[in-house]
Amino acid sequence: MADLQGGETFLDGQSFNAARANNHVNGADAQPGLISDKGEVPEGSIAVGDYVLLLQTSTNALKKAKVVAINKTGGNVTSVGLAMPTGFTVAGSPVTGAGVITVSFTNQSGDKFLASPVDGSSGAPTFRNLGARDLQIPYVVPPAFAFDWNNGVRFYKALDNNRVLSMTNVPQSGEILVAVTYNGFTITDWTSTPAIRWPNGVIPVPSGSATTVFRFAAIAGFLFGWAEASALHT
């Protein structure tokens, strides 16, 4: 198949003149074979210096252009890099073709933690040593009279009646403190799994309106409890 087809078909006996010759050239149509009949360049074999045919609209003319020039037209990205903050290492950057960018933590000396600023302000986390503020865990006031070990290590509750208090989600190890203000009421019992082991098997029963602080320790599958300090008031 021809790549081009003339703009006018001649019949026998027709006269030929310059106008028809020009029409035959200027009105010619490109045929599908102009592309489909050509050999194909395998994927990955296109070289930087290879050309393609294009219409340049500014001149309304067919011109050739290098493939690499087309790739750079319209702000196309030719290289992608990755920058990370202090504490990370970047490998494989930038990528100019095919590649993988890998990010890893920079080696740190012992006893370092990835944390926000030690003064409690808002800021980018860095690897640093623990500070006193990092160990300050807020106390918890449970809505009911059950102290869930999953929620904290320090609890407070004020009695509004004689109550049975309970422990939930007791782990295999760890300690919590529970401060109870009695307000003239008393704790009638404590429930827990495992059961709480009190000194001499006797549950402390403070009275009055002051506060008592209890300490509970989970050790070897047992839960030990005792009154750390009683009758605390101003």
In a domain, residue 115? The reply is yes
Q: Which residues of 180-219 are buried (b: 16+ CB within 10 A; e: fewer)?
A: bebeebebeebebeeebeeeeeeeeebeeeebbebebebe
Distance between CA atoms of residues 212 and 68, nearest Å? 80
Examine the domain organization and report whether 1 and 69 are in the same domain. Answer: no
Q: Are residues 63 and 99 in the same domain?
A: no
In a domain, 174, yes or no: yes
* Distance of alpha carbon 125 from alpha carbon 119, whole angstroms: 12
Please indicate, yes or no, whether residues 203 and 145 belong to a single structural domain of this protein: yes
Q: Are residues 2 and 70 in the same domain?
A: no
Q: What is the DSSP letter of 64?
A: E
Window from 99-108, 126-135, 181-190 with minimum mean pLDDT:
126-135
Answer yes or no: do 65 and 94 share one domain: no
Do 53 and 121 fall into the same domain?
no
Residues 67, 50: Cα–Cα separation, whole Å:
6
Do 178 and 116 lie in a common domain? no
* 219 assigned to some structural domain: yes
In this structure, the strands spanning 222-232 and 211-219 are antiparallel
**What tokens appear for 11 in the block?**
């019949």
The model's pLDDT over 69-91, given as tens digits with 9 standing for 90+, comes to: 776 666 667 788 999 888 889 99
Position 214 scores a pLDDT of 97
pLDDT at residue 1 in the model: 44
CB atoms within 10 A of CB 178: 22
Q: Is residue 99 part of a domain?
A: yes
Q: Which domain holds residue 97?
A: 88-129
User: Model confidence over 107-125: pLDDT tens digits?
Assistant: 888 888 888 888 888 988 8
The whole-number pLDDT of residue 157 equals 97
Residue 43, in any domain of the structure? no
DSSP for 95-147 reads BSSS---EEEEPP--SS-EEES-TTS-----EEE---GGGG----B--SSSEE
**Do residues 102 and 68 share a domain?**
no
Alpha-carbon gap, residue 80 to 82, rounded angstroms: 7
The answer to whether residue 28 sits within a structural domain is: yes
Whether 143 and 228 map to the same domain: the answer is yes
Same domain, 180 and 199: yes
- pTM summary value: 0.52
pLDDT at 103 over 70: yes
E-assigned strand segments in the chain? 4-5, 29-30, 51-56, 61-66, 88-91, 102-105, 113-115, 126-128, 146-148, 154-158, 163-168, 174-181, 187-191, 196-197, 211-219, 222-232
Q: Are 182 and 156 in contact (CB under 8 A)?
A: no
Indicate if 94 and 143 belong to the same structural domain. no
Residue 83 located in a structural domain = no
**187-233, pLDDT tens digit by residue?**
999 999 999 999 999 999 887 899 999 999 999 999 999 999 999 99
Euclidean distance between the first and the last CA atom of the chain, given in angstroms as a whole number:
106
Give residue 44's pLDDT. Answer: 77
Q: Computed from CA positions of residues 199, 195, 179, 158, in that sequence, does the dihedral angle turn out positive or negative? A: negative
Q: Does the residue 3 lie in any domain?
A: yes
22 and 94, same structural domain?
A: no
Q: What is the mean pLDDT of the chain?
A: 86
- Lookup: tokens for 82: 């990755």
Cis before residue 194, ω within 30 degrees of 0?
yes
Comparing 77-81, 146-150, 168-172, which segment has the lowest mean pLDDT? 77-81
CB atoms within 10 A of CB 134: 14
CATH number at residue 160: 2.60.120
Number of domains comprising the chain: 4
